[in-house]
Amino acid sequence: MNLIRKKIALGIVALMGVTSAFGAQARSYPDALAKAGKSKPVILFCYGANYDQVSQETYETFIHSKNKEIIRALGKESWVVVPVFQEPNEKEKKEYEKVMGNKHLPGEMWSLPCFLIMDGAGNFRGAVQSKEEMESPEAAATALTTLLKNFAVQQKLIEEAERSNGENKKKALQKALDIPRLSVPGHKSYDPVYSGLLDKVQTMSIPEATDTVRKELAGGPFTPLERQMILATLAGHVRHKGGSADLLRSLYTEIKEIDPTSAFGIYAEGAIKLWAGGGNGSAPTQQAQ
C-alpha cells in the first residue's frame, strides 16, 4: 500500500514538474503577479498580434510551438502572453483587457516582440527586446536565462538593503545597481546633465573639477551608466580645457572599464582613438580649444 502511495505521490510530483514546466503560464498579468508574490519575477511575452508578421512568427516559434529552450529559460517563473493590437476592434480590446486587467505595459517596452521582466509589485526590471536577441529562440533563451538568474541575485540584494541601514544598505544597493540590464525599483536615476554637475564642472579648473567629480562618485549608489556619465563630465572638461592626453586617456579608460560593451564604453573607446592619442601614447589627434 505504502509502495502504491509512494508511486502515486511520485507520479503527482512528476506530473507537477511537467505541468510547472509548461504550466507556469498565467492567464492574466494580475493573476501572474498574485502568484509570483514579492520576490519572484513575472515575465511578459508581448507581441504584435494583428499587424506584425515578425511578431506572429516569433510567437509561433517561441511560444505556440513550446520551444524547449524558451520553456527551459522561463523555468518555473510565472509568465504571460500579452497580445498587443494595432487599432484594436472590440473583440481585440476585450482580449487584451482579459490579459492585462487594469495594468499597463511599461514605457520601457521599446519594441515588439519582447520579453519584459517585471517584479511581483509590477515594477519594470528588464527586457529582452533587441533584434539580435529576439531573432532566434536560442539567443532569446540565453538572454532571458541570464536576466532571470541576475534577477534572483538582485532581488536578494534589494531585500538585504531593505533590512539594512547606513553603509551596509548603501553597499547592498550598490551591488544591486551593478547588476547589468536590470533596474532597481525606487532608485532615482541620476543624470549629471540635469543635476547641474556638468555646468558646475565646466566652470572649474581641472584639479577642482576632478575633486568635485570624485566626491560625487563617492556619494552613490549609482548604476554603472551613471558612474560613466559622472566621469564623462570630467573627461569632457579635460578635453575642452586642453588637458593632457594621458589624463584624458586614463579617464576614458576608466569609463570604458566600467562596462566596455555599453554605449559609453564604446564612446570612450572611440574617444581614445579620436582625442587621446589612440591609446598608443601618441599625441591627441584633436586638441580641444
Partner 1 sequence: MSSKLIKLILALAVAIALGYFSYPLFYGETSGKHRQIAQIPTNGTPKGKDPSDVPPETPQPSAPTEISDGASDDDWQKGFEETSDQQEEEETTAENDTSEGGDNSFMFTDGDPDLRGITEEKDAPEVAGQTDVVPPALTVQREHSIVDAAKNLANAFQQQAKKPTPPQTKPEFDAEAWKQPQKIYKTVMERVLQKLGDKPTPESILSFLGNAENRSDIALISLCRKAGLSDLKDVASRPMGGKLLETLSSDPDWLCNTMFSGPVDKLGRGLMYMETIFQASPQDMMEPISRRIATTAATEFAREGWDKEGMLARYNYYNTSYKEGKLNKAFNSLKYWETRFVTGNREHDTWGSPQSLAWERDNVRLPLERYLDASSQLHYRMKNAFGDSVHGPDYLAPVRAAMGNITPLMHREIGGVCGACSHYGAYAALAAGIPAMTMGEPGHCAYTVRVNNDWKKGYTIFWQHSMHKTFWNLHDWEFLILAQKLYEDRENTLVSDHLAAVADLLAARRFTRAAIECFNAATVVQPLNWPAWQAEAGFLKQKAPKNKANWTDLCLRVSNTMAENFHDAAATFLARYVYPQLLPLVPNLKERNKLFAAFFNKCNDYGVHHWDIAPLLNAQFEGCRTDAEKLDYMKTALSVLMSKPDYSGSVLAWGLDAAGRSAGEEEGQKNSHLQEEFSRLIISAMSHMRASKKDQNATWNGLGEAMCAAENNNDERTFQAIGKLAMQKCKKNFPKYKFKFKSFSGKVISTKGLIQTTHKLNDAAVRDGCLHWGVLQKTGGSIPMPAGGDGSVSVKMDEGGQINGVVILFDKPIEDGQNYTLETSEDGQNWSKTNAEAQLNVSVMRFDLQEHGINARYVRLVKAGSDKNSTTNLVGFYVYGKPNKSKS
Where along the sequence are the contacts to partner 1 (CB under 8 A)?
48, 50-55, 57, 84-87, 107, 110-113, 129-131, 191-194, 196, 198-199, 201-202, 228-229, 232-233, 235-237, 239-240, 263-264, 266-271, 273-275
> What is the C-alpha to C-alpha distance for residues 152 and 47, in angstroms, rounded to an integer?
25
* Assigned C-alpha cell, 119: 517584479
Q: How far is CA 41 from CA 62, 76, 97, 100, 164, in A?
A: 19, 10, 21, 16, 23
Backbone angles phi, psi at 261, to 5 degrees: -90, -10
Tell me whether residue 25 or residue 96 sits nearer to partner 1 (CB atom).
96
**What does the angle CA 40 – CA 46 – CA 50 come to, to the nearest 5 degrees?**
160
CB of 156 to partner 1, least distance (A): 30
What is the nearest approach in angstroms of partner 1 to the Cβ of residue 236? 3
Q: Which is nearer to partner 1, 56 or 164 (CB)?
A: 56
Comparing CB distances to partner 1, the nearer of 224 and 267 is: 267
CB of 220 to partner 1, least distance (A): 17
Nearer to partner 1, 112 or 118 (CB): 112
Q: For residues 21 and 96, which CB has a smaller minimum distance to partner 1 in the complex?
A: 96
CB nearer to partner 1: pick between 166 and 196: 196
Name the strand (E) or helix (H) holding 44. strand 42-48
Instruction: Tell the smallest beta-carbon distance from residue 43 to partner 1 (Å).
Output: 19
| Number of neighbours of residue 81 by Cβ within 10 angstroms | 18
Cβ 262 to partner 1 shortest distance, Å = 8
Shortest Å distance, C-beta 9 to partner 1:
47
Helix (H, G, I), strand (E, B) or coil at 117: strand
- Give the 3-state secondary structure of residue 126: strand
The secondary structure element, H or E, covering residue 22 is helix 2-23
Cell numbers describing residue 53: 508578421
Q: Which residues of 15-25 are buried (b: 16+ CB within 10 A; e: fewer)?
A: eeeeeeeeebb
